[in-house]
Structure 1
Amino acid sequence: MHDPLIAPATCGGSPKLRYLLVGGRIVVEDGAIPGLDLQTIKADAARVVTRLAA
């Protein structure tokens, strides 16, 4: 790790959450964020990295 202050957050693994509620609203359900399209986010990130590398 380059920064020991963020090591616990970046190296801690992923929690096994069934539900996480914030202010009465479900933000994690069965380990996923409802409404979050990971495929689109991955594709967008790949395009940005490609553009930055050019």
Structure 2
Amino acid sequence: MPTITIITSQTMPGTSKAERVAYSDITIDEFTLAKFEKKSKTEEEIPFKFGNFEVLETL
């Protein structure tokens, strides 16, 4: 099982202030292996759980 870490960033409109959070020890609950549509953009939601988080920057 690979080690997965996700870092999120939210920036306030009109300012350069950002909030960043790192989520670690992530496990993915389910996902679709293949789903293709000809000449279309694909958007997919992947449910997951995390074991730990760290606030990297606050607003």
The question of a shared fold, defined as TM-score above 0.5 by the shorter chain, is answered with: no
Higher relative contact order (CA 8 A, sep 6+): 2
Normalized per residue, which structure has more strand?
2
TM category (shorter chain) comes to under 0.3
TM-score normalised to structure 2 length: 0.19
Normalized per residue, which structure has more helix?
1
TM-score normalised to structure 1 length: 0.19
